[in-house]
Structure formats: C-alpha cells, structure tokens
Structure 1
Amino acid sequence: MKNETKATLYASVAVLSWSTVATAFKITLMHFTHFEMLLVASSTALLIFSLLITVRKDWKAIAVLPARQWALFAFLGLLNPVAYYLVLFKAYTLLPAQVAQPINYAWPIILLVLLALFAHQPIPSRKYIGMFFSLGGVALISMGSGNISNAGISTSGLLLATLSALLWASYWMINNRLKEKADNLTVLFVGFLSGTLFLAVSCFWTDVHLDSLPGILSSIYVGAFEISIPFICFGIAMRKTSNPALINQLCYLSPFLSLFFVATVLHEKIVTSTYVGLILIVSGIVFNQCIEAKKTRR
C-alpha cells in the first residue's frame, strides 16, 4: 500500500472518530458529571499512550527527559486535558451538541489573535476576511440557537464553549513551540500523566460516583476516540503524506459529519442557522489556510 493511501486511511480514521465525539459527549453526560467523564476518559487516553510507547519501545526517551522538560510538559497537562476538557464538557452539559461543537471548532481564528499578541506574528490584512466569516458564523449559531428549544440557550454555556476554543488555541500555540524539545507522543504522555494524577487527587475534594456501566463505557469511548486515537492517526497521516494540505482539509468534513450523528443518534433537530454558521466558520478557516499556503509557496 502506497504511503499516500495509508495517509488518507489514517486521516479518515481520525476524521470519523472526531465526527462521533459530540454525540458521545452528550450520551456520557446523561450518566456522569463532566468531571467524572474526564477522569475516566483521561485515564483511558493515558493507558493508550502508554501502550503505544511500549510498542514503539520509547520508554528510554521518557526516562532520559530532563527534569525541566518533565516539569514543563507536566504543567502543560494542566491545560490539556484538565482545563480544556473540563470547560468543554461543562459547555456540553449546558448547550445542545449542534451549538457547542461548532463554536469550539473556531479555535484557529482565536489562534491567529494569540499568535499576533504573544508570538509577534502580525495578522495579514486578507486574513481578517476569513476571521470575519468565522466569527460571523459563531455569532449566527449563538443567536440562532434560541430556536432549538423553548427554554432558550445558556449564556454560560456559550461563554464556556468560547473559552474552550481559547484554551485549545493556547495549548496548540504552546505545544507547537515545544515540538522540537521532544517527540509529540512523549509530550502527550507526560501531560496526560500529570493531568490524570491531578484529577485523581482532586477526587478527595470532589463527589465522584463511577457506578454507571454505560457512563464508564461511553467515557472510555471518549478517551479513545476523542483524546488519543485520532491524534495518533492524524500524526501518522501527516508524517506519511506528501500533501499535508489535503490531509488538513479532510478534517473539515468532521463537523459536518458530526451534525449527522447528532441528528440521527441524539435526535436534535438541526436548525438552519447551525448549518449556515458552520459553513461560515469552516469557510473562514479554509480561506486563511489558503492564504498561508500561498505565502509558504512564495
């Protein structure tokens, strides 16, 4: 099998996995709190990362990791999985899946602003067009979401969904600057080890009841198919492909496929503003990536 075919297959696994997780979040939250859900999901992801390190025989690389880098990656674990997923899962407890998922997906636009503020990377004037479309999509979904239920939409949920996008953009920016210090799998393992230990210790001050088998199984699914396996598969796809732009663009199928699962499994009636808003968000991101690709070719 050619490398490009393998890359496409790995990317497809990642995209399909990410397409199901919004639905999985809502199902899990029927049985567990957002904290209980993350505790099981993070432990599952840590186990999967550990198994992969064992298969790759990479434990020596972790053993010789300098103490300063251990501390740095461990601190990063407080951002992801702890802060990011606690905020994201809480947003899903307050919002319909069709609202929480697209707003969280706008993180690349927030990343542009963060890079301009902290990495001194000015935003090209044409990228403001893409930002306008994406932010317009977020606004449309937020305002149109009132049509989903007669009870109205949670303002706190909208703020948390936006905060989750900010946290993920922050994590991506920091992690990208550290990528030369260690292998990505090493960073993930140390971060999730730190995050899982933090969550475990927090159980002493948090009322935790892991007594629901459906909750445990669905949390394990989240840990496998949101937090760990798709990131591993996507990383492999990017290493094998000679056309990373195509692999990146495949990811934009994920939020649209997600709406299919949300409608089919959760029986949420997808309102028109969600479709239009998501198209605007994705269009803005793709527009800016095309500008970046042209800049790189030059």
Structure 2
Amino acid sequence: MANDGRARATIIGLSAVLMWATLGLFGAGSGQVPPFLLNAICFGISGVLALVLVTVTGKLERLKQPPKVWVFGTLGLFGFHFFYFTAIRNAPPVDANLINYTWPLLIVVFSAFLPGENLRVHHVIGTVLGLLGAALLITGGDGISFSGGSAIGYGAAVLSSLFWSTYSVVSRRLGQVPTEAVAGFCILTSLLSALCHVLWEQTIWPQGALEWGAVIALALFPVGLAFFTWDIGVKRGDIQVLGAAAYSAPLLSTLLLIAFGFGALTLPVIIACLAISLGAVIAAKDMLFGKSAPGAAAE
C-alpha cells in the first residue's frame, strides 16, 4: 500500500512537469508583458484562487505555519524566478537557460542526502541523459559559447538552479507542512514580484482577449496548479524519478511550440526527444518494472 501511495504521488508530481511544458506556448501568447509583472499577475491569481478553495473546503487552519516555513516557501518560488529573470537579462538566454536546467540533475544528486533515499546508478544515468538531451534541445546542436562580461547572468543562472533544486529537496524534509500552504507562498511571491516590477520594469498590460487568456492559462496551470502537484510529488513520491523526468518539460514545450507553428521539427529535436525519453525510462526503472529481485546483480 505504501508503494502504491508513493507511485500515486509521483504521478501527481509528474503532472507538474506536463503543465510546465506549456510555459513556452502560453508565455508566447501573453504578448509583451514584462516578466515580473507577469509573475505578479499569475501568482496573484493562482494564490487567491487557492486561498478561496482552501477556505471553502474548511482547511484554512492549515495555513497557520511557523515564520520559517513562510520564508522558506517564498524564497523558493520567488528566489528561483528572480534569479532566472536576472540570468536571461544579463547573459545570452541560451547559455543561461542551459545552466538553469541543471536543477533536475541537482535534485537527483541532493536527494541522496534525504533519509530513506538511495541514489542508484540508473538514477544518475537517466538524469545525465536528460541533461544531454536538454542541452541539445536548448542549443539546437550549435553548441554554446560562454561570453565574457556575462558573469552576473551566469552567476544568477547558477543561483536559480540551486534555489529550485534546494527548495524541491528540502520540501521533502518538511513533509509535515500541508500542500495548502503553497497558496500563501504564491501570494507572497506575487507581492514581491509586483515590487520588483515597480522598481525595474515598464508597465505593459496584456492586450486583448487572446493575451489575457494566455495569462489566465499560465496562472491556472504552469504558474499555479503545477506548484501544488509538484509539492505533493517531492514530499511523498519518488523524487529521483521526478528530477529525471523534469527534463521532459523543455522537450514537450518545444514540441508544443512546433505544433502551434512557432518552430520546426529538426534532427536535434528528434535526438533530444529520444535521449530525454530514454533517460526518463531508465531513471524510473524501479517504478515501472519493479526493483531487482534479491540476489540480482548489484548496480
């Protein structure tokens, strides 16, 4: 029964990866809204909707958490986005995005320090395959050239990766904190994003029904529900499988953009698809096919 619960939580967590795959498509449809304003709107909508749901279901008391929980959760959500946006503004976006996408690998590595978790060879192999596939996808097979003068951007990309991987792994240690608390994290992240917008950005609102529809879709799914399902996954599911599977997000995002006419299906995309898919299957070997029987060859 415990294994069934772990598998169910893992599947719920994987739904977050599927939702994050729509970030590119909905983001492209949101027009010229600057990043921190978009963050403020989306997290504001998702946070308020979650708060209403928590209130209606009579679970409002679950939001009563120690200050350290609020600091941790808000730093995780806001810190990741703050440093990610800083990275892509101060370094070549392809380079910054690739550095940032080391977070799934870091989740798998950091998870080895969690109680009851064992980092096995197939977890590492699957995650590295995913990283190689993501690298090929992001660069388009053209390689990367880390340019001088972008130290701030590269440093911010490293920090964004560290923030999200640490948030995901430490969430496992805070398993007693209910997922409903994420509603508060979203609202606080929205407020901090609004402050950053006022300080550093020019206000450009979504134009027309299509752009507002894209923003609302972002708020409901990849910048909303995804953080709640991810919380369930990393706290109760197989965090190593989730880390490896997270590399499918940029792949699925690219495929969606291609399907809607924002890109072309190229050989690098096909190879990346195979590498990421194979890596995810290898990393999830235990969950998909069962663990090796006693006496089987050790990995």
Question: Please, what TM-score do these two structures have when normalized by structure 2?
Answer: 0.68
| In 1: Cα distance, 2:121 partner to 2:12 partner | 35
The 5 A counterparts of 1:176-191 are: 176-180=172-176, 182-186=177-181, 188-191=182-185
Q: Paired residue for 1:211?
A: 205
| In 2: Cα distance, 1:257 partner to 1:49 partner | 26
| In 1: Cα distance, 2:67 partner to 2:180 partner | 13
Q: CA offset at residue 31 of structure 1?
A: 1.0
Q: Paired residue for 1:265?
A: 260
Letter in 1 for 2:76: L
Q: Paired residue for 2:193?
A: 199
Question: Please, what TM-score do these two structures have when normalized by structure 1?
Answer: 0.69
The 5 A counterparts of 1:142-181 are: 142-146=138-142, 164-180=160-176
Q: Paired residue for 2:34?
A: 33
Q: CA offset at residue 222 of structure 1?
A: 1.2
Are 1:281 and 2:276 an aligned pair? yes
Q: Paired residue for 1:141?
A: 137
Q: CA offset at residue 76 of structure 1?
A: 2.3
- Which residue among 71, 76, 98 is the counterpart of 1:74? 71
Q: Paired residue for 2:45?
A: 44
User: Structure 1: which 5+ runs fail to align?
Assistant: 1-5
The 5 A counterparts of 1:230-269 are: 230-232=226-228, 257-269=252-264
Count of residues in Structure 1 that have an aligned counterpart in Structure 2: 276
Cα-to-partner distance string for 1:55-103 (whole Å, 9 max, x where unaligned):
211112324x3xxx233323321221x122344456778658xx95x98
| In 2: Cα distance, 1:26 partner to 1:232 partner | 24
Q: CA offset at residue 206 of structure 1?
A: 2.4
Q: CA offset at residue 216 of structure 1?
A: 4.7
Change (3 A) 1:46 1:280: same
Letter in 2 for 1:113: V
Change (3 A) 1:257 1:207: closer
What SS does the aligned partner of 2:284 have?
A: helix
More helix by share: 1
RMSD: 4.7
Structure 1 range deviating more: 18-27 or 123-132 = 123-132
Q: CA offset at residue 124 of structure 1?
A: 2.9
Cα-to-partner distance string for 1:14-34 (whole Å, 9 max, x where unaligned):
676444222112333x41121
What SS does the aligned partner of 1:57 have?
A: coil
Q: CA offset at residue 175 of structure 1?
A: 1.4
- Are the aligned partners of 1:10 and 1:237 in contact in 2 as well (CA < 8 Å)? yes
| In 2: Cα distance, 1:204 partner to 1:253 partner | 34
Cα-to-partner distance string for 1:212-245 (whole Å, 9 max, x where unaligned):
335554333212110222455677899xxxx999
Change (3 A) 1:141 1:17: closer
Letter in 1 for 2:22: T
What SS does the aligned partner of 2:264 have?
A: coil
Are 1:221 and 2:222 an aligned pair? no
| In 2: Cα distance, 1:204 partner to 1:258 partner | 30
What SS does the aligned partner of 1:268 have?
A: coil
- Are the aligned partners of 2:100 and 2:161 in contact in 1 as well (CA < 8 Å)? yes
Change (3 A) 1:12 1:143: closer
